[in-house]
């Protein structure tokens, strides 16, 4: 009986000692961010690393959002060979344009036929505070009078519109004068002499054609 009790006590001590020993097993997936506090629009780099054997198929997620965080960059996968194993690194650039505290949710990574998950991480986004008292103030510039050139630019058009009828009238009068007969251009005395000359040249007197002559 005493031997049985001693044996049971020994087993309990072994179990308790193993339970109290810190675990040295490394997680297959590690998740981290370069910072957990940013200003609106700043980039947080989210890194995921996976330990694998040579020849394992690892597929990282590709998505436009991670919870409320927006993915603005997806960097290429990097690798590090350790003995007969390999460690793959995937990095994302994420941000948010509203202030608040946001959880980056667990992300699913495929390792061959297995589905692994990353850890969720809290990121705080703060507004950009602008202190106007520290900004340099500039003097108010004097107002600049802009010359109104609309009247001058259209004045020549009015003159042109007034000049066109005058030119047309001059042209018509000149043509009318050119169309006058020779008799219309003679003075009264010259016209009388011209008509008498025409009568003499007509031969009415020689032919005794008195009616036509008078």
More confident residue, 130 or 68: 68
Whether residue 2 lies inside any domain: the answer is no
- Position 21 scores a pLDDT of 42
Residue 90 in domain: yes
Say how far apart CA 109 and CA 104 lie, in whole Å: 15
Based on the fold, state whether residues 122 and 187 are members of the same structural domain.
Answer: no
Higher pLDDT, 72 or 189: 72
pLDDT at residue number 162: 82
Say whether both 119 and 67 belong to one domain. Answer: yes
Q: How many domains does the chain have?
A: 2
- Does residue 12 fall inside a structural domain? no
Q: Do residue 115 and residue 182 come from a single domain?
A: no
What integer pLDDT is reported at residue 20 of this predicted model? Answer: 47
> Does 1 reside within a domain?
no
Phi (first) and psi of residue 50, to 5 degrees? -130, 130
Shared domain for 120 and 201, answered yes or no, is no
User: ∠194-200-201 over CA atoms, to 5°?
Assistant: 90
Q: Is 55 a domain residue?
A: yes
124 and 51 housed in the same domain? yes
Q: Domain of 90: which CATH number?
A: 2.60.40.10
**Domain-embedded: residue 91:** yes
Q: Against a cut of 0.85, is the pTM above it?
A: no
Q: What pLDDT is recorded for position 144?
A: 72
- H or E element that contains 156: helix 150-178
Tell whether 102 and 172 lie within a shared domain. no
Given 128, 145, 178, the domain boundary residue is 128
pLDDT tens readout for residues 111-144? 999 999 999 999 999 998 776 666 666 677 777 7
Cα Dmax for the chain? 192
Express each pLDDT in 119-128 by its tens digit: 999 999 999 8
Residues 120 and 163 in one domain: no
Show the domain range for 41: 27-128
């Amino acid at each position: 009986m005493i031997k049985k009790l001693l044996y049971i006590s020994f087993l309990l001590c072994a179990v308790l000692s193993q339970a109290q020993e810190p675990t040295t097993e490394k997680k297959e997936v590690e998740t981290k961010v370069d910072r957990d506090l940013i200003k609106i629009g700043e980039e947080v780099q989210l890194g995921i690393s996976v330990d694998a054997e040579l020849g394992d198929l690892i597929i990282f997620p590709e998505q436009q959002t991670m919870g409320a965080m927006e993915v603005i960059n997806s960097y290429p996968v990097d690798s590090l060979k350790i003995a007969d194993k390999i460690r793959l690194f995937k990095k994302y650039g994420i941000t948010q344009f509203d202030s608040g505290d946001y959880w980056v949710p667990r992300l699913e990574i495929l390792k061959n036929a297995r589905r692994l998950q990353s850890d969720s991480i809290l990121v705080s986004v703060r507004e950009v505070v602008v202190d106007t008292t520290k900004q340099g103030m500039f003097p108010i510039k004097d107002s600049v009078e802009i010359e109104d050139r609309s009247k001058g630019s259209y004045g020549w058009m009015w003159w042109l519109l007034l000049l066109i009828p005058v030119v047309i009238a001059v042209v018509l009068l000149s043509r009318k004068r050119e169309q006058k007969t020779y008799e219309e251009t003679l003075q009264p005395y010259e016209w009388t002499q011209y008509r008498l000359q025409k009568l003499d040249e007509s031969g009415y007197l020689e032919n005794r054609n008195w009616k036509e002559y008078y």
